Amino acid sequence: MLFSLADQTVYFLFSLLFGVMISSLYDLVRILRLSGFNRLWQIILTDILYFFVCAVLTSLFAMPFNKGSVRYFVLFGEAVGFIVYRFTLGELMTSVYSFFIRIIRNLIKKSLKILRVFLNKVLKLNRFVVYNVGGIIYKAQNIVFKKKRTIYEHEKGN
């Protein structure tokens, strides 16, 4: 299938934009790594998943332009778009992501502290009730029996 130079140029420019899109998709993987998914098996799994998604998206990207066949200049354009985004706007986005992740971590830590204090209070109250339940039941029975005795004695005396 023959393309004119203008068609190839447009296809290349779109591949640059597609490379930027794929690089911004990689930012999701970076967010996962910044938030704690940084064990070796997690890194390998996310990278394999990312490359699989990129391969499928590249094939889908090639469908309308070239009936599904991917050309080298398209892969080159994707790589250039990826690299340009990664070292310009991607660096800025990484600092923004890490800032928000720090804020979210601090909020979670504070929420867990508040929850821990609340649960300690509830557990202390629960512990008091559990340890003193026998005494509480005994006192409640005495109160009930005293009322029954006084009612019985009152009825018996009349």
Domains in the chain: boundaries: 5-87
The pLDDT of residue 51: 93
Low-confidence ranges of the chain (pLDDT < 50): none
| pLDDT value at residue 102 | 86
pLDDT for the residue numbered 21: 93
State residue 139's pLDDT score: 76
The predicted pLDDT at position 53 comes to 93
The whole-number pLDDT of residue 149 equals: 62
Question: What is the structure's pLDDT at 129?
Answer: 67
pLDDT (0 to 100) of residue 153: 63
pLDDT tens string 94-137:
888 888 888 988 898 898 888 888 877 877 777 766 677 777 77
Q: What is the pTM of this model?
A: 0.62
Tokens 């005795």, residue located: 149
